[in-house]
């Protein structure tokens, strides 16, 4: 009887260990599954807001409307490294992190800057671009701003969900108009509905060139509130170490070898006919 009990306990222990081993193996398989899942799906689903030239925008290529830009070029490089195709999902900028965390997209490549608040919800890659923020005003009003205190009392337009929006909110600006797309933001300024726009320098200067009637203010933001970087973002909930490793490999290679060419090509593309 004792022998049967001992055998029973032994079998239970073996089964228990087997279940633990299987469970552990399953977790390890699941842990490595983000990169594998992308490979198995055959596509990298990229979330972006394609109204941010030269980083992402629509352009007619060979008679077809396509999403192009620096971020689109980087997405293609990442997909090529993984061995899959690219699929773009276009949405509002302020909806991107929610879509990522709802597993509707695999990665955000949309000129997004890492911030402490965003890092609570997503993991960022290494930076592939570092720029700065500038203030845009109507032509002829280059000297209308002389201090941050003066900026606080003006009507300011920014892109909704952007770090520029966070900056003017933190600054305490009294009148902030947050809009979904940069073209809408700049149009508000051109039409005189706001006094100034805070915007990324590359994006803002390109918009000025395309639209006319808008210039950079002579008042410059200092480095503590002007510098910004851009990075890819992926789901923090995923065990994403391998996925992030691949992304960082491509990001750093792109930054070293392809970024400047991509930027110039997409500036040229965005200004065709401007």
User: For residue 174, is it within any domain?
Assistant: yes
* Domain identity same for 209 and 260: no
* Domain identity same for 79 and 136: no
| CATH number of the domain enclosing 109 | 3.40.190.10
pLDDT tens digits, one per residue of 244-264? 999 999 999 999 999 999 999
User: For residue 91, is it within any domain?
Assistant: yes
CB proximity list for 131: less than 8 A, separation 6 or greater = 200, 201, 202, 227, 228, 229, 230
Q: What is the pLDDT of residue 237?
A: 78
pLDDT tens digits, one per residue of 5-16? 434 444 444 444
Helical residues (DSSP H) of the chain, grouped into ranges: 2-31, 33-41, 70-82, 96-101, 148-152, 163-171, 182-190, 201-211, 223-226, 241-257, 259-270
pLDDT tens digits, one per residue of 141-172? 999 999 999 999 999 999 999 999 999 999 99
* Domain identity same for 146 and 224: yes
Residue 133: pLDDT over 80: yes
User: For residue 238, is it within any domain?
Assistant: yes
For residue 112, the 8-state DSSP code is P
* Domain identity same for 165 and 221: yes
User: For residue 217, is it within any domain?
Assistant: yes
Instruction: Give pTM, 2 decimals.
Output: 0.81
Residue 137: pLDDT over 90: yes
* Domain identity same for 94 and 161: no
Q: How confident is the model at residue 116 (pLDDT cuts 50, 70, 90)?
A: very high
User: For residue 5, is it within any domain?
Assistant: no
pLDDT tens digits, one per residue of 198-244? 999 999 999 999 999 999 999 999 876 667 899 999 999 778 999 99
Q: What is the pLDDT of residue 222?
A: 84
Query: Would you call 122 helix, strand, or coil by DSSP?
Result: strand
Q: What is the pLDDT of residue 226?
A: 67
The proportion of the chain whose per-residue pLDDT surpasses 70, expressed as a percent, equals: 85
User: For residue 188, is it within any domain?
Assistant: yes
Q: What is the pLDDT of residue 20?
A: 39
* Domain identity same for 136 and 114: no
* Domain identity same for 137 and 251: no
Residue 50 belongs to domain spanning = 33-128+231-270
Q: What is the pLDDT of residue 225?
A: 66
User: For residue 21, is it within any domain?
Assistant: no
Q: What is the pLDDT of residue 68?
A: 98
Into how many domains does the chain fold? Answer: 2
């Amino acid at each position: 009887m004792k022998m049967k009990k001992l055998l029973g306990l032994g079998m239970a222990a073996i089964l228990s260990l087997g279940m633990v081993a299987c469970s552990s193996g399953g977790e390890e398989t699941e842990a490595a599954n983000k990169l594998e899942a992308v490979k198995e799906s055959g596509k990298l689903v990229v979330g972006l807001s394609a109204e941010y030239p030269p980083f992402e925008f629509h352009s007619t290529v060979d008679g077809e409307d396509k999403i192009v830009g620096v971020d689109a070029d980087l997405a293609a490089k990442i997909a090529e490294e993984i061995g899959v195709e690219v699929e773009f999902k276009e949405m509002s900028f302020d909806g991107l992190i929610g879509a990522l965390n709802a597993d509707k997209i695999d990665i955000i490549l949309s000129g997004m800057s890492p911030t402490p608040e965003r890092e609570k919800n997503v993991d960022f890659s290494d930076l592939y671009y570092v720029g700065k923020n500038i203030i845009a005003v109507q032509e002829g009003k280059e000297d209308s701003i002389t201090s941050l205190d003066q900026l606080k009392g003006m009507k300011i337009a920014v892109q909704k969900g952007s770090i520029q929006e966070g900056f003017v909110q933190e600054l305490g600006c009294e009148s902030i108009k947050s809009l979904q797309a940069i073209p809408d933001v700049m149009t508000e300024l051109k039409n005189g509905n706001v006094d100034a726009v805070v915007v990324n320098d590359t994006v803002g200067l390109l918009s000025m060139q395309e639209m006319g009637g808008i210039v950079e203010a002579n008042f410059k933001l200092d480095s503590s509130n002007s510098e910004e970087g851009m990075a890819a973002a992926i789901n923090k909930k995923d065990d994403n170490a391998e996925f992030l490793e691949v992304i960082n490999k491509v990001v750093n290679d792109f930054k070293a070898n392809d970024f400047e060419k991509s930027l110039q090509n997409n500036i040229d593309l965005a200004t065709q006919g401007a």
